[in-house]
Amino acid sequence: MLLDTTLREGAQAVGVQFPKELQVRILRDVVRAGVEMVEIGWLGKDGIEDIAAAAQRHGLASRCAIWAPCRPEILGTVAKLGLHAVHVGIPVSPQHLARRLKISVTEALQRLVATIGNARSLGLTIRVGLEDASSAPLHAIEPFLRTAERAGAHGVRLADTRGIWTPQTCAETVRWAQSITRLPVGVHCHDDFGMATANALCALDAGGHWADVSLLGLGERAGISALEEVAGYLTLIRASRKDDMCSLRQLCHEVAHSTGLSLDPRKAIAGKHIFTSESGLHVDGLLKDPGLFEPCPPERLGMQRHLLWGAKSGRGAVVQLLSRHGLLGQGVDVEQVLAHVRKHGAQQPLEAEEVLHLAQQLLNTPKAAPLPTTN
């Protein structure tokens, strides 16, 4: 299962402000694309009542959750929003408990029991986020797992708060947690070292029940696992999901445009150049069989392949293009065409039509007569 937290974690990214209409569109469209659960924000967030009302209006309340701190007295507000689920966060690392909350492990566990009990009395599904789990020794996490299960939680989420997990350690931690509790185990992976998507996938492979994701990986600092990347891999490569990748890609662009974010043209799944090639080896191979270099047909993402010729072009790529358009056997000098392509495309790579036009010009250019020989 994927849990989209664009409206909670993503909304915490520096400089990001989602207009109300975009928040509703994100909520509606990620569910339509195939995502099972959405965190619509945090308790106390400006406008949270409007988003909760929109969830009910669109018949999505059962697919939505709200984040709240682990405090039993505030859960009545969640119930009044008409939502069915709450996700509470409580740190499990000694440093967070001592320096941030300034409470003991015993006090934290008591607070957890009271919060879970109150949520259940209100008819709420409650999942417990174990903050900074990646920094905590396993023996420090264990009492929180066991207490959450005994108190009646519906799931636990292991958070890589500082983004320090590797795929291996993430998978190992998920397997360990499942040996301790029968509760569904999810993960929340930050991307400080560029491993969030890999960590999420490895957690799911290790038997994790869900992974938190956000559009474009938006979140605190370097962000978290990207929805379009995790869903894309599972849909396009594994075929274990059936997410609407065209819709998710379009939503990424809407989010980037609306928030003023600069979208890297080489950004996985969402970038505009991910099916663009100029290198001679790649262009030659793509012309022979696109599957040699591309992970999936561009049409699966609502895109088209874009091949260019320029300073990086090789002889094979030029031969392939000329052959496809019937120019190879017409007396065209391939080496001459290649030299012109590299020269003219050094600053701005050429489209196929420009290369063909150049070849035709060279073909129609009269060759200089040989100089007379003298005896």
pLDDT of 375 higher than 60:
no
**Report field, pTM of the whole predicted structure over 0.85:** yes
* pLDDT band, very low/low/confident/very high, at 371 (cuts 50, 70, 90): very low
95-112 pLDDT tens trace: 999 999 999 999 999 999
Query: What is residue 280's predicted lDDT score, i.e. its pLDDT?
Result: 83
DSSP secondary structure, 267-279, as one string: -TTT-TTTTEE--
Element (H, E) at 160: strand 155-160
* pLDDT band, very low/low/confident/very high, at 23 (cuts 50, 70, 90): very high
pLDDT of 3 higher than 50:
yes
pLDDT of 238 higher than 60:
yes
Element (H, E) at 319: helix 315-324
d(CA 261, CA 95): 34
If you average pLDDT over residues 216-231, what whole number do you get?
Answer: 98
* pLDDT band, very low/low/confident/very high, at 368 (cuts 50, 70, 90): very low
If you average pLDDT over residues 243-252, what whole number do you get?
Answer: 98
Ramachandran angles phi, psi of 333, nearest 5°: -85, 105
Q: CA 128: distance to chain centroid? A: 23
